[in-house]
């Protein structure tokens, strides 16, 4: 069975939005903190070969950028990955290789995880993140935490995300102030 890892760039207050859509005023807030060391750590976290699980909005934003990006390990890896896309309009997908997850997201992700192939990586979807956690489909989470507060924007965990426990696997600080923290999903929250 494939491992499904959620990876996300996130502010200290949980914001993951980096585009200017919906009037968000802080587009590209991660840029001042990017470094070759941070890039190398994120690339290593992807593993050698991987497939992507993407919501439609992330797929559309990435398909406008990555196919035209200069070659390099990140662009080459993302462009080569099979993109498993949650969409109601699979006929309009063009950045491949791609596959629609299907009309039932939970069953579609279960099917994809059970197939032979490289591990799956989810980037950029708080609603999909919540669904995966609720149904026990996510195995790992890598948070790339930036030393900023944004106060507004799309949050990593959507409203209604079920309580969950995580086990810290590793954490690493970058000279720019970014923390990379990897967690294993440990199951439902145990309180008291």
| pLDDT one-digit tens code per residue, 12-52 | 999 998 887 888 899 889 999 999 898 889 888 988 899 99
Is the distance from CB of 72 to CB of 36 less than 8 angstroms? no
List phi, psi (to 5°) of 96. -115, 180
Angle at 50 between CA 92 and CA 73, to 5 degrees: 95
What is the rounded distance in angstroms from the CA atom of residue 49 to the CA atom of residue 42?
Answer: 13
Confidence of residue 182 (pLDDT cuts 50, 70, 90): very high
Parallel, antiparallel or unpaired: strands 50-55 and 83-86: parallel
Say how far apart CA 44 and CA 186 lie, in whole Å: 23
User: Who's near 44: CB < 8 A, 6+ residues apart?
Assistant: none
What percent of the chain clears pLDDT 70, i.e. is strictly above it? 100
Flag whether pLDDT at 149 surpasses 90.
yes
Q: Which secondary structure element, helix H or strand E, spans residue 31, and what is its range?
A: none
Q: At 80, is the pLDDT very low, low, confident or very high (cuts 50, 70, 90)?
A: very high
State the fold for domain 4-11+29-188. Dihydrofolate Reductase, subunit A (3.40.430)
Work out the pLDDT band at 165, boundaries 50, 70, 90: very high
pLDDT given for residue 157 in this prediction:
81
Contacts of 110 (CB under 8 A, 6+ apart): 137
Could you read off the pLDDT of 120-147 as tens digits, one per residue? 999 888 788 889 988 999 999 999 999 9
What contacts 24+ positions apart, CB below 8 Å, involve 27-34?
Answer: 29/146, 29/148, 29/150, 30/146, 33/146, 33/147, 33/174, 33/176, 33/177, 33/178, 34/176
Whether 110 contacts 45, CB under 8 Å: no
What number of CA atoms fall less than 13 Å from residue 48's CA on the CB side? 1
CB atoms within 10 A of CB 68: 9
Tokens 């969950």 -> residue: 164
| Cβ neighbour number for residue 54 with a 10 Å cutoff | 26
Residue 172: cis peptide before it, omega within 30 degrees of 0: no
């Amino acid at each position: 069975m494939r491992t499904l890892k959620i990876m996300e760039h996130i502010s200290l207050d949980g914001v993951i939005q980096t585009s200017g859509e919906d009037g968000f005023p802080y587009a590209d807030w991660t840029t001042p903190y990017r470094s070759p060391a941070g890039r190398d750590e994120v690339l290593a976290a992807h593993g050698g070969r991987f497939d992507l699980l993407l919501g439609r909005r992330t797929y559309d934003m990435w398909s406008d950028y990555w196919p035209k990006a200069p070659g390099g390990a990140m662009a080459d890896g993302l462009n080569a990955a099979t993109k498993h896309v949650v969409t109601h309009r699979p006929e309009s997908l063009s950045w491949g290789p791609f596959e629609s997850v299907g009309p039932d997201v939970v069953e579609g992700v279960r099917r994809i995880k059970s197939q032979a192939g490289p591990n799956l990586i989810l980037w950029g979807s708080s609603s999909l993140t919540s669904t995966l956690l609720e149904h026990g489909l996510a195995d790992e989470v890598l948070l790339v935490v930036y030393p900023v507060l944004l106060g507004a924007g799309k949050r990593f965990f959507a409203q209604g995300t079920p309580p969950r426990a995580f086990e810290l696997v590793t954490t690493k600080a970058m000279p720019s102030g970014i923390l990379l923290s990897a967690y294993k999903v440990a199951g439902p929250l145990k309180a008291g």
